Structure 1
Amino acid sequence: MKTKSEKVKSPFTPAEHNRIDAAMAAIEHDTSADLCVVVTRASDRYALYPVVWAAIGAIVLGALISLLRPEIASRTVIEIQLWFLIAMTLLLDWLPLRLRLVPKRVKHAHAWQLAHREFNAHAMANPEQQHRILLFVSLGERYVEIVADHETHALAPAGAWNKIVDEFLITVKSGRVADGVLDAVAACGSILKTHHPALNAS
């Protein structure tokens, strides 16, 4: 069975898409397993975090105004709080700020869940295929995971998956996300070609 075509959800340039497509096509004919790539901006909207933090700020602001300027009418204080709540909610809804509000463990938990949902979705879409690898990258959470079926995971050399992830993160830190994906695809493809060669391979 051929390798599945690459699926990327993040905004790579057309040239970067073409490079990744070419890398996937090169692997496609050399393995009987399924290799998929999912890259997303963020694994969740975390929509409640801007509202919660803006509400906390509004409460604190109201308390400070009442403490420092007790002569200001309660109605005016409430109006100030409402405007502050609206303005801060809109400001904190900007994705980079929104992600900073979310604890790291929460972000990684959401990314982990999305990675495994994607893996299961690909498995359900092609149940006849027993061997598969999913390279999952969530840019906002700075989270990378390689999900593989049990047999493929066990066949890889000790530490192989962690090494691919570590090298990917090093490349991404230098701002070369597409290059990191390409290197990881090549490394995953090498494992698949070694342990699950194409059925028609000589």
Structure 2
Amino acid sequence: MTLLSESELQQVAAAIERIERDTDAEVVTVLAAQADDYRYIPLLWASLIALLLPGALLFFGGWLSAWQQLLAQWATFLVLAVAFRAPALTSRLIPRAVRNWRACNLARRQFIELNLHHTEADTGVLIFVSEAERYVEILVDRGIASRIDNAAWETIVAAFTERVKQGRVLEGFLGCIESAGALLAQHVPATHARNELPNRLVVLD
């Protein structure tokens, strides 16, 4: 992982402060190392393979007694459960849909936990990144959603996602904040000075 240094965190905070001068939106950024530890994934795969083992033995002409099959299943499960915990293997065993689902859930939890749904005019904006999953999402409260269509965020998210895939997380954040700021200034311009939520980047190790 390439979680940001202290100086890079300050750059993100400064970028948020700059764009919030021109909009009533309250922008919060979150960077997660990963959305889940996926400890259950090796166990699921090991269990599945162990359950399929008797059928595979019969298909390939092998024959074992009931006790031998049971021992073979347990041995297979234990060996694979340990082997599949190797990070290189675990990452290959996690379906993309599961990665996105876990990251999506974490983004929504952060939106609530950081009180983005309790701003003065319902103008909370969350820029969320989960680095391990290479997942980027922008969540907005109803005060923003009523003025900006979700499709308007897609280009910004796509550009940020590509930079995350390349390991250019800081560049992605700064570019995303600048692009989002221009969109917010156009549709949700500043009416008075305020700063309800912290500008710092929230980092989830």
Same-fold call, TM cutoff 0.5:
yes
TM-score, normalised via structure 2 length: 0.72
2:139 equivalent to 1:147: yes
Displacement, 1:92?
2.4
Count of residue pairs brought into register by the alignment: 191
Contact between 1:99 and 1:140, CA under 8 Å: does it hold in 2? no
2:180 equivalent to 1:197: no
Displacement, 1:12?
1.8
Task: Give the counterpart of 1:162 among 130, 145, 154.
Answer: 154
Q: Partner letter of residue 148 of structure 1?
A: V
Q: Which protein, 1 or 2, shows the higher relative CO under an 8 Å CA cutoff with sep ≥ 6? A: 2
Alignment map for 1:1-202 (pairs within 5 Å): 11-59=3-51, 78=71, 82=74, 84-95=76-87, 97-123=89-115, 126-156=118-148, 159-194=151-186, 195-197=188-190, 199-200=192-193
Q: Mind listing any 5+ residue stretches in structure 2 that lack a counterpart?
A: 195-205
Q: Deviations over 1:26-68 (max 9, x none)?
A: 2344433210111213223333221021233345567778978
TM-score, normalised via structure 1 length: 0.72
RMSD, aligned CA:
3.4
Work out the percentage of aligned pairs sharing the same amino acid.
28
Q: Partner letter of residue 190 of structure 2?
A: P
Cα distance in 2 for partners of 1:129, 1:120 equals 16
When residues 168 and 127 of structure 1 are mapped into structure 2, their CA distance, relative to the original with a 3 A threshold, is closer
Contact between 2:30 and 2:127, CA under 8 Å: does it hold in 1? yes
Cα distance in 2 for partners of 1:105, 1:123 equals 27
Q: Deviations over 1:53-104 (max 9, x none)?
A: 12333455677789788699x57982x6545534432332345533432332
